Structures are given as C-alpha cells and as structure tokens.
Amino acid sequence: MGFGTSYNTQSSLKEDFLSYPGGDLDWLGLDDGTRELPAEWEAGDINSQEIINDTRSGGGRSTESRTAAADELIRLTSLFGPLMRPTRETSGLDHNFNASVGDTKKLFGRDLGFLFGISYDRDYSFYGNGTTGRHKLSGDSIETDLLLTDVRGVEEVNWGSLATLAYKVSENHELGLNFLFNHNSEDEARLQSGFLQGFEDSTFETSVLHYTIRELRSLQFKGTHEFPQLLDLKTDWIAAVSSTSQDEPDLRFFSFDRTDNGRINVALSGYDAPTRYFRELLEDNQNLKLDNAIPFNVWSGLESQLKFGAYYSGTQRTYEERRYAYNTSSNPRWQDLVNGGDPNAFLSDDNLTYQATGRGTYRFNKYIQELPYNNYTGDQSIHALYSMVDIPLIERWKIITGARYETTDLSVDNYGERTGNATINESAILPAASTVYELKDDMNLRMAFGKTLARPTFREIALVPVFDFIGGDILIGNPDLDITSIHNYDLRWEWFPKPAEVLAASLFYKTLSSPIEKQFVTANRQVQYQNRDEAIVYGLELEARKSLETISENLSDFTVGGNFTYVVSEVNVTPFEYEFGRNETRQLAGQSPYIMNFDISYNNDRTGTIVSLFYNIFGPRLAVVGSSSPARPNAFEQPVGTLDLTISQSLSDHWKLKFSAKNLLDPTVDVTQEFGGQEYIYSSYKRGRSFGMSLSYDF
C-alpha cells in the first residue's frame, strides 16, 4: 500500500491554471451529465432550418404559429450549456494512491495464488509559454499562415483495478485468470491568440474545451499443461476478451478576431463557426493463442524442441460523431459578443433572442444546427499458424528456424458526410531464422532474419477529420493504405561477465515495403497518412551494464549502464516533394538518427538505499512530411534530453520512502519547419520540473 504527491514547477498550486467548471464527479474522471448531449437533440430528428422555415409568413402560417416556432428554436438552442471559453482556477498537487494484496493458499490440497490491486492517480499539467505556428512557401520565401501564443491546462485522472488468480489443478496442469480495468479521463482547456492569415489587422483568438474519458476492460483465461505420455508435450493457451471505449462529450471550439479598434467579430468565411462535438468510440477485441512445444534429442543426445501453434485476433470498432454549429441571421453578425469579447456571454439568455423584420420573417441573433456527421465502423480478423524448430548443430551452436502464415481481413465503412470503404484482404508467409553460437560460457554471437508486418490502424484508414484547434492541422485517414512488409536482419555479440552485467554490440538492417507516414496534402492544412514505395533502415546499437566494483571495492554498490543506437533511414523523395530541391532521399518519418539512454545507480542492501539517475535523448525525427502543392516544409521534432532522479530509502522492514525528480533539465519541446537555413516554429512548449514524494507499507 502506498500514497504519494508531487509538485510541478509549472502546473502545481497555480492560481491562473487554465480550466473551466465541469461536473461534480470530475475528480473521479466521470461526467455527471453536465456535458451530455441534450436528450431532445440525441434523437437526431431536429432540423433547425425547417424550424426557421416555419417562422416565415406564407403557407397559411399564423403569427402565433410563427412566433411559437421562433420560441422553440431559441429554447432548443438554450438546451446546450453556455460555457464556451476557459476560465482561470487554482490547481492542486498531483497525488496518487495504490493498494494490493496477494498470497498463496491451499484449495483442495492444491496451491491457489491470488493478487488484487487498486490504484488512483490525479495529475495536473500546464504551460503558458507555448507557441504554435504554421508556415508555407511562397516563391523563394516563407509565408506564415498563423502564429499563436499557446496556453494549455490539463487535469488527468486515472484509476483502476486488477485481479489475478492461478490454480495448480494437478502436478502437470495449471489454470489462471487475469482481470484488468482502467479508467482514464483527460480534461483539457486551451487558449491561443495571435496572427491568422487573412486577418492581419486583427488578433485571432481560439479556445478549446475538451473532455475525454477512456476505459479498458480485459478478461483473460490461460492455462499451462504438460503431457508426459504425449512425447512430453507442453501446451500453453490464452483466451481473452477486452473492450475499450473513448467518450468525448461536448468538445467545444470557439474562435473570433478582435480588431485594433476593439471590434469583435466571428468571421464565418475565415474560420469555423463556434462548434460542439459529441464523439463516442467503442471497440471489442477477442484473442485466442495456442502454443505447443515437444522436446526431442538429436545427435550426441543434444536437446532440441519443436514448437507449433495458432493465433486469432478479432476486433470490431464503432465510431460515432455528432456536431453542432452556431449560426446567425442577424446583421451585423454576433453583435452581442462585443461585451468584452467574452465567449461565455455568447449564449447568455439576453443574447438568445430574435427580432421581427417587418417582412414576414424573424432575424435570430444565433441558433444552433446539427451538421453532417462523420462516422465509421471497422472490423479486423487476423488468423495465424506457425511452426518452428530449435536444433543444436553442435553443443555450442544452435539454429532456430520456422515460419508463420497469417491472413488479414480488415474493412472500414465510412458513412455520413464522407463516404467510402476500405478493404484489406491479404495473406503472407513470414519466415524467420536465427542462430546462436556460444563463443564462451558467458559470451554469444547471434544472427537473425525475419519478416514481419505492420498493419494500418482503423484511425489511419478512416475518413474522419480530427483537429486540435481551429486553424490547426486537420488529420484524416486514407482508405487506400496498404500493409507494411518488413524484412529484418540482425547480428549481435553479447558478453555477460557477471550476473546483471552485459556488454553487447548489434548491427541491424531493415527493408520496409509500403511504410506509412503523415504528410501535408491540401492547402487548408490537411494532413493524411500515405504509403511510400519502400524504405531502408540500418544502424548500430551498443549496450552496456557494469558494476564499478572492478574499479574499487568501495564502489561495489554502483552500477552504470546505457545504450546508444545510431540509425540511418532512407526513403525516396516522391515527385510531390521535388519542388523543395531536396536530395533524392530523406529520412523515414518517425525515425530518429540516434537514441541514447544512460543511467547510474547506487544500491546499498545494508542501508536499504537506492539512488538512480536516468538520462535520455533522441535525435531530430521527421514528424510530418512536407509537400510541394501546397508548398510546406517538413516538420521535425527536435531533440529533447530528459534527466530523472529517484531515491528510495527503506525505513524499516515494512516502510519505504521514495523521492523523485523528473525532467530536471526542463528542455523546450520543439517541432520546427526549416527553410533557407532558418527554423520556424510549428509547436513549442515546456513541461516544467516535477518533484515527488511517496510512502509505502508492505505487510
């Protein structure tokens, strides 16, 4: 059992933390109905335009009926809450709690092991110094689409439980049951302001209120069986079902521009109208896995093993989205927003009004209407059979070889505003072979070859546009994506001079057919997943873990370790990118040219003290591939070095105190676009340093 708290230099106990009033159960990560879609709108049979038509003269409509229709439209609009913009509140400290109990008991004379656990965690994150930019090429110069200051506050709640049972049915048979439940909520408030192209004489402001609830439920049955009478066959099996959900109730976007003379305007022709989204994703998954192993002896009595098995995975997904935008028939438009430019006054009762025009019509200050939705369903089935053999050629040299046969049936059906289907029906034989040669008792040389697959996800295929803020990139799937086929070649030397020590060096080479990347594709900042013809990735990895006892006995409690990976990746530049005058090849999106991890630990068993220092850094990696039409440079995620410290101290046989310091260097997290030797900000922010303390008790 344990509990802890932590302080972040940017987000903890901050009086101007960006947030907004939610529900009474937000501390549990649950919405109490505050953000629910109003019941009258949920049926989906309200048509705002038809109601407006009922307010017009003609067609035998009486003044009373037209007025009643106008009142009804205002009433339906008012069913949605008025809150549209973040407010400032005081944040708390991060805190967490966990408890677990486990033991082994006898049931009918056999061992029954069990473990039950619960956990709760509540965290705050904030930055007020962020920057967001979007840039494109115009002739021989760069042109800025938007450049905004970025303030973002997030409150995250995570809690869950687990249960594990293992029962020894007999000497050769064991059954197990695992249950996992996890609930996560993320409450985001974001406020951006600055320059937007087309509104050079104004300050553009946009805000987001975004509440996301995710849940995972997993139930797994498993068994291990030994059959001495059947060639000493050993069988392991797993049967699992799981369900995941993601609910985004009342996602709100609000944008306007403020001129130098103080005039407030919502320019519907320049950016999206104030909009509310209600999204729900449901996914069910079924998994079956069967592994069999039969030992046998070959020449000189050397032990070998034959393995064979089967695998099945089935996934069904449903994604539904409802969206509602505010419109107006008033002139001048949105005149009520001049009250200090406060979007939270936008839907006040005083501003939900209408006026008779004298021409048999009504003019509405604002009303809400449902827009066409973007929905999809997805289904995926994977079947696989495999067989492999582990055979020693001599006492110190063995070969493991085999193959896996897989079939993939994946389909996505888009319906609503965007229609279209995506289908993948493929089968593949995936061979694999490796060899291990024991140079010494503590030293090995390994060589391996294997073919693997990387399937596109439902999200990467579905024609559903998603964006983080008004004016930002719009990420959309691609129904024409193919499966990525990967050939892997590895050579590794490893030496284990002492227990828990290792020195290793590896060479690797990979070829990828149809790798998937994100790329700018349209002038309105749309980003889409795209297949490339092929890519290659090769490099070197070095790994070491060593006790400092070899330097001095006084350093026997110290251990240093780390790994360094140097990677070269190449993709042929497509004609869609040629106009930038780049080389014929570039690095693969998402692949860093280097990755380094280093740690040093002090572990004193006599005093119960453990001190560990961790450092990690990665090289610049391509986040979004640029394009020539529209002309947008590549966006690169720049290196970020993180330094973390943990100190653990046993206070007694049962009590333990732990201190942690995370992100001590507090680097700026930058994504940039480059042109003419100069970098332009795509996104930039800092996370702050976190200092935590926890206390645990073991019974």
With residue 408 as reference, give the H or E element that holds it.
Answer: strand 397-416
Closest CA to 490 of 416, 540, 438: 540
DSSP per-residue codes, 111-137? EEEEEEEEEEEEEEEEEEEEEEEEEEE
pTM: 0.91
Tell me if residue 572 falls in helix, strand or coil.
strand
DSSP per-residue codes, 553-571? GGGTTEEEEEEEEEEEEEE
Confidence class for position 582, pLDDT limits 50, 70, 90: low
The answer to whether 600 and 634 are in contact (CB under 8 A) is: no
Q: How many residues does the chain have?
A: 699
Dihedral (Cα; 333, 337, 343, 348), 10-degree rounding: -100
Q: How much is the pLDDT for 493?
A: 98
The answer to whether 434 and 445 are in contact (CB under 8 A) is: no
Q: How many helical (H) and strand (E) elements, i.e. helices and strands, does the chain have?
A: 4, 39
The one-letter amino acid at 282: L
Q: Which two tokens stand for residue 260?
A: 């130098």
With residue 494 as reference, give the H or E element that holds it.
Answer: strand 484-495
Residue 550 pLDDT greater than 90, yes or no = no
State the Cα–Cα distance between residues 692 and 669, nearest whole angstrom. Answer: 22
State the Cα–Cα distance between residues 252 and 344, nearest whole angstrom. Answer: 12
Residue 358 pLDDT greater than 80, yes or no = no
Domain boundaries, the chain: 1-373
Write the burial class of residue 105 (CB in 10 Å: 0-12 exposed, 13-18 middle, 19+ buried).
exposed
The one-letter amino acid at 267: A
Write the burial class of residue 583 (CB in 10 Å: 0-12 exposed, 13-18 middle, 19+ buried).
exposed
Closest CA to 178 of 107, 99, 116: 116
Residue 130 pLDDT greater than 60, yes or no = yes
- Tokens 């438009």 correspond to 333
Closest CA to 622 of 580, 588, 665: 588
Which range, of 217-231, 252-266, 598-612, averages the lowest pLDDT?
A: 252-266
Q: Which two tokens stand for residue 355?
A: 């006026």
pLDDT digits (tens, 9 = 90+) for 138-181: 877 888 999 999 999 999 999 999 999 999 999 999 999 999 99
pLDDT digits (tens, 9 = 90+) for 218-231: 999 999 999 999 99
**What is residue 625's DSSP assignment?**
B
Q: How much is the pLDDT for 336?
A: 47
Mean pLDDT over each residue of the chain, to the nearest integer: 92
Q: How much is the pLDDT for 330?
A: 65
Which range, of 116-120, 269-273, 403-407, averages the lowest pLDDT?
A: 269-273
Confidence class for position 333, pLDDT limits 50, 70, 90: low
Q: How much is the pLDDT for 165?
A: 97
State the Cα–Cα distance between residues 530 and 632, nearest whole angstrom. Answer: 16
Q: How much is the pLDDT for 531?
A: 94
Mean pLDDT of 88-113: 94
pLDDT digits (tens, 9 = 90+) for 57-96: 776 778 888 889 989 999 999 999 899 999 999 999 999 9
Q: What residues are paired with 307 via a beta bridge?
A: 293, 388
Q: What residues are paired with 248 via a beta bridge?
A: 279
pLDDT digits (tens, 9 = 90+) for 423-450: 999 999 999 999 999 999 999 999 999 9
- Tokens 């289907």 correspond to 421
Mean pLDDT of 502-513: 98
Which range, of 46-50, 144-148, 166-170, 454-458, averages the lowest pLDDT?
A: 46-50
Q: Which two tokens stand for residue 646?
A: 């943990």
How many Cβ atoms from other residues are within 10 Å of residue 211's Cβ? Answer: 24
Which residues, 6+ apart, have CB-to-CB distance to 295 below 8 Å? 231, 232, 303, 304, 305
pLDDT digits (tens, 9 = 90+) for 265-322: 887 778 888 999 999 999 999 999 999 999 999 988 899 999 999 999 999 999 999 9
Mean pLDDT of 256-260: 85
State the Cα–Cα distance between residues 227 and 33, nearest whole angstrom. Answer: 55
The one-letter amino acid at 125: S
Residue 234 pLDDT greater than 50, yes or no = yes
Which residues, 6+ apart, have CB-to-CB distance to 696 below 8 Å? 1, 2, 3, 655, 656, 658
Range list of β-strands (E), 573-685 = 585-586, 594-604, 609-618, 621-624, 627-628, 631-632, 635-637, 642-650, 655-662, 669-675, 678-685
As a whole-number percent, the residues of the chain with pLDDT over 90 amount to: 73
**Per the omega criterion (within 30 degrees of 0), is the bond before 456 cis?**
no
Residue 692 pLDDT greater than 80, yes or no = yes
Q: How much is the pLDDT for 676?
A: 80
